[in-house]
Chains A and B, each alone.
Chain A
Amino acid sequence: MAPLSFDLQLLNGCAALLLLLSFSMLSQRRIVNLVNLLALQGALLCAATLLVAVRTGQGHLYLSAVLTLALKVVGLPLLLHRLIRRLNVYWDAEPVINASGTMLIGLLIVVFAFGLAQPISALASTATRSTLGIAIAVILLAFLTMITRRKAMSQVVAFLSMENGLFFGAMSATYGMPMVVELGVALDVLVAMLVLGVFFFQIREQFDSLDLHHLESLKETE
């Protein structure tokens, strides 16, 4: 195959690092580190957006890069760090499945995502289409992270990471979503974050813990 141009190589590199970060999040048990990884993921996303913006010359992509930087690299992580300090949750409990097992499932998910992306990316016309598989993998891995965690805090981080994956997927398939949609999603995330922040305090008030298994006692019948 013909060698790729250098910016595409860089983009591929970004994509691969995103995947690596997803796996690190899957295995990371310190919530502070989890948030830092999320910030790093945001930074990579920002870099990838800039690369695509430079390549395609679409103005709104610059804007969305700035938005990513402000929201996902600076804003949300700061907010999360504050929440962690206020709520005093630094460690997640022992995960539902052990680390190696989770990683193995993660690997199968990657195979699945990559296989899934092959026919789709064959249809897409963008130069960035080969990274679509990674975007799907990031989304699914974030899902897996949410499933295997016990603390609400880490689930929120994973949720945000899933949003990153969606964003990246949109970019590799169609060079990003229309600006309106993007702004809307950004706002949604922000609002969701605030609502969840309120929820955290409520949950802790009620159970003296953020461990989600306490919620299991809320069901009607026993």
Chain B
Amino acid sequence: MTPLRIVTQLLEIAAALIAAPAFLGWVNQCRAWLQNRRAPSVLQPYYGLRKLFGKDVILAENASALFRFAPYAVFGTMVAAAAIIPSMGTGLPLSTAADAIALVGLLATARVFVSLAAMDVGTAFGTLGARREMMVGFLAEPALLMVLFVAAMISHTTSLPLIAEGLTTRALALYPSLAFTAVAFTLVLLAENARIPVDNPATHLELTMIHEAMLLEYSGRHLAMMEWAAALKLFNYACIGFALFIPWGTGTEAGGPAALMLAAPLLALKLAVAGAGLAVVETLSAKLRVFRAPEFLATAFLLAVLGLLVYLLLGA
């Protein structure tokens, strides 16, 4: 374990922690622009977090220890997930301990904890949100796994840094299978991060909520942790997308510190473009009825499996 690897690892975690709220702020800003509203600052999520951290926690009377523990567990799993996704450098020591499948597992762990915490107080909205979240999850999770599977088949490994490295270093080739999975991945990203066609992060209607409904009982620092974890999740998904579909510019171990220095502004650029794209997609689409969400996700799952089959047929 060389010092460079440790530095890369720590840098990635720090970058995720710091950049995640900014990325969310950027998406919100783009959305506001596109909708002809006055845009909040990119830093707005940080202000929100600071405010929430400073506030007292009000716990519901029958909230259990699980309810208080869940925000930290969710935050922890999201940070662990951020630590294994090669967003800036591929020389990540922790990514030998957890590959693409473990990444999906980590995301699932976070989802289970959020849902259980939402059921803990026993309100109508909380349980409703938990049920919907799990409904979205059980279709999105296999879809994500299949997306990663295609990339893994192309690279003959499930290790994320090796997938990213493999796709950058080999001769440029068209992968029709990756086109399928890219579409599937986008759908999964939208659904899993409570973005518009499936859920609306800005909604005030409790009956249409999924993610927000689960957080209704949280307040103060617990809510801050949950919000931060949600921002991290979006950031993680974006970075998974970069690693699978546009891995160029990620610093490889051979590239040394220079590559890592170059990777940081490139990542910022990718995030800026991806955030703007996400805002465009969200602005152009209308929210689906909850009943239609499974169809949306089934399409994602299907596209991912189709990508797998196309890869097997065409070898590309």
Point out residues on A near B: beta carbons under 8 Å. Answer: 1, 3-4, 6, 9-10, 12-13, 15-17, 19-20, 23, 27, 99-100, 103-104, 106-107, 110-111, 114, 117, 130-131, 133-134
Contacts and interface: CB of A to CB of B under 8 A. Distances in A.
B124 to A, nearest CB: 28
Contact of B174 (A9, A104, A111, A131): A9
Given A9-B173, A13-B179, A134 B313 contact: yes
Contacts of A133: 313
Given A13-B174, A114-B312, 9 more contacts: A6-B174, A17-B176, A19-B310, A20-B306, A23-B306, A99-B298, A107-B306, A114-B309, A130-B314
Chain B contact residues: helix, strand, loop or mixed: helix
A186 to B, nearest CB: 28
A16 B295 contact: no
Given A110-B306, A134-B313, A4 B173 contact: yes
Contacts of B103: none
A114 B180 CA distance: 17
Contacts of A15: 176, 314
B299 interface: yes
B205 interface: no
A100 B298 contact: yes
A37 B171 CA distance: 33
Given A10-B174, A27-B299, A110-B309, A1 B315 contact: yes
Interface residues of B, number: 22
Interface of B: 171, 173-174, 176-177, 179-180, 294-295, 298-299, 302-303, 305-306, 309-310, 312-316
A117 B302 contact: no
26 contacts: A1-B315, A3-B171, A3-B173, A6-B174, A9-B173, A9-B316, A12-B174, A12-B316, A13-B174, A13-B176, A13-B179, A15-B314, A16-B314, A20-B180, A23-B302, A23-B303, A100-B298, A103-B298, A106-B302, A107-B302, A107-B305, A107-B309, A114-B312, A130-B314, A131-B314, A133-B313
B176 A100 contact: no
Given A12-B176, A16-B177, A114-B309, A4 B316 contact: yes
A222 B206 CA distance: 52
Nearest to A100: B298
Contacts of B315: 1, 130
Per DSSP, are chain A's interface residues mostly helix, strand or loop, or mixed?
Answer: helix
Given A131-B314, A134-B313, A16 B171 contact: no
A27 B163 CA distance: 32
The 4 A-B residue pairs with the shortest CB-CB distance in the complex, in nearest-first order: A16-B176, A9-B174, A100-B298, A12-B314
A1 to B, nearest CB: 6
A99 B292 CA distance: 10
A16 B180 contact: yes
Contacts of B312: 114
